[in-house]
Amino acid sequence: MTGSTGYLGSAILKKFISNGVAVDTLGRSIDNTVIIDSDSAIIMPKAYKRIIHIAGLTPNKTFFENKWEDYYNSNVKYLENICNSLDASGCFPQQIVLVSSVSVYGLIRGENIDEETPLLGKTNYAKSKIQAEQFLLEWGRKFNVKILILRLPIVIGDEFNGLLSLLSRAIKSGLYLRIGNGEAKKSVLLLDDLATFILLYEKEEGVFNLTSGKSLSFRVIEEHLCGYYNKAHPRSVPMSLAVFLLCVFKILNIKKGVDLIEKLIYSLTFSDQKVRMNLNWQPSDLNNIFKRDQ
């Protein structure tokens, strides 16, 4: 497993260990079983039944996007090095799991977007994920290795990450302002469901959107977070102001600002019918996702 010390990987590793599954981890830190430099050739110490590739560079929290080279090295070249090491050893796993993202679709709005949707992502992050998916699928066909690619939306775990982390910090500080009625909806996935899925589906292959099957509006998310942090519900600002800010960010070419405003004002949901129909996947109920220990 790569990325075992990150937000997703640490929870997935914990799930495997709690179910008595032995896991070797691969990464830069001394906490890993196999310590490597992702820019260099990788030597696998033994043959593995499965490889779960979670490591990668995700968008930063500033208003400026990382360089293409950074995303390429972390999200594409790292994966290529792993596959090249398997090719050189002649010891191929039965399955490789690649954790990807719904950002590959490149959409800012839409409902029930499925896996047949063209991959039009134009950000450096999205393009690196598309390239990683395409490389791995071709490599899997060449060497007869099952490839399981999971495209993830917002992932909710014991701690908040990504967009939820940004919202939670703003609400805690009392600076958060709701845009319009907060009606924009997003697909989400419980981190524990992701870990369970990867644990259970060790022989399957395919490309799947993985979601909870239920979308949440920003209003619902905001109210849960306000209750979680014992804060008053946020005041609202007119949608017209958000649209004005969006225009300003576009004029100034502040891509991360454009991305943030678009995420807050537009609904973007993804269909998980393919994984439900093909693999009989049933995610957990979302009713208690924000009821955590203080």
pLDDT at 289: 62
pLDDT value of position 290: 55
Average model confidence (pLDDT) across the chain: 89
pTM of the model: 0.89
Handedness of CA 8, 10, 11, 16 (dihedral sign): positive
DSSP 285: P
Q: What domains appear along the chain, each with residue ranges and CATH number? A: 7-158+188-213+270-279 (3.40.50.720)
Question: pLDDT band at 40, cuts 50/70/90?
Answer: low
Residue whose token pair is 């179910």:
19
DSSP code, position 256 = H
pLDDT grade, residue 293 (50/70/90)?
very low
**Would you say residue 60 has pLDDT above 80?**
no
| Higher pLDDT, residue 174 or 4 | 4
Query: What average pLDDT score do residues 71-98 get?
Result: 94
CB 55 within 8 A of CB 74: yes
Structure tokens belonging to residue 282: 């049933």
64 pLDDT band (50/70/90 cuts)?
A: low
Of the ranges 7-11, 36-40, 91-95, 287-291, which one carries the lowest mean pLDDT score?
287-291
CA distance 268 to 286: 18
Number of C-beta neighbours around residue 92 at 10 A: 17
259 or 184, which is more confident: 184
pLDDT > 80? residue 286? no
User: For 197-225, what is each residue's pLDDT tens digit?
Assistant: 999 999 999 999 999 988 999 888 888 88
Token pair of 169 as six digits: 């910090």
Q: How many CB atoms lie within 10 A of CB 243?
A: 14
Is the pLDDT score of 89 beyond 60?
A: yes
SS3 annotation, 134-193 = HHHHHHHHHHCCEEEEEEECEEECCCCCHHHHHHHHHHHHCCCCEECCCCCEEEEEEHHH
The Cα-based distances of 233 to 236, 256, 260 in angstroms read: 9, 26, 21
Q: For the chain, where are the alpha helices, taking DSSP H only?
A: 7-18, 68-71, 78-89, 124-143, 162-173, 191-200, 218-228, 239-251, 255-265, 273-279
165 pLDDT above the threshold of 50: yes
Beta-strand pair 185-190/215-217: antiparallel
What is the rounded distance in angstroms from the CA atom of residue 6 to the CA atom of residue 290?
21
